[in-house]
Amino acid sequence: MDFPIIFAIGWAVVLGLGGGLLTKIGSWYRELKKPAWQPPDWLFGPAWTIILGLSGWAFVLAWRGTDSEAERTLLIALYLVNGLFHFLWSPLFFTLKRPDWALVEVPFLWLSVLALTVFLRDWSVAASWMIVPYLAWVSFAAILNWTIVRLNRPFGRSA
């Protein structure tokens, strides 16, 4: 296996498993008021598996379209920055029980996904399109996060 495949698999597995391990669906989460249109909990795992799989595949396609070491470095940096913001959301929301802080983090995650969509287009149009489900899901998740904050605030105060 060559580097882009190893990197893509590693990136997707670390984000998928890490996000899953940091997402504890306990009584605190179950007691939150949530909108009726929230997808069932079981859907999030398969959705993220597909999204991260497509995004990993997009990395490989984009890598193959790069022409220089500088472009490959930029591609890796885009994925690492996205990975950081992707990884921060679950601990903020679930571990620290601060959906309000997670909501503040969401624009950074969303912008990192948008950057992937825009920059990957230079190396592979197909790769750019493979990121669109990620962008759509994060957009939906941002609205869901905002709604949960609106329905349950304030956070961080003792009852």
pTM of the model: 0.92
Domains in the chain, please, with CATH?
A: 3-152 (1.20.1260.100)
Tell me: the pLDDT tens digits for 31-61? 999 999 999 989 988 999 999 999 999 999 9
pLDDT in tens, 69-101: 999 999 999 999 999 999 999 999 998 999 999
- Spell out the alpha helix ranges (H) of 22-124: 27-31, 41-65, 69-90, 99-120
Report the C-alpha gap between 76 and 74 in whole angstroms.
5
Find all residues with CB under 8 Å of 144, minimum gap 6, and list them: 34, 35, 38
**93-111 tens-digit pLDDT:** 998 999 999 999 999 999 9
Confidence (pLDDT) at 18: 85
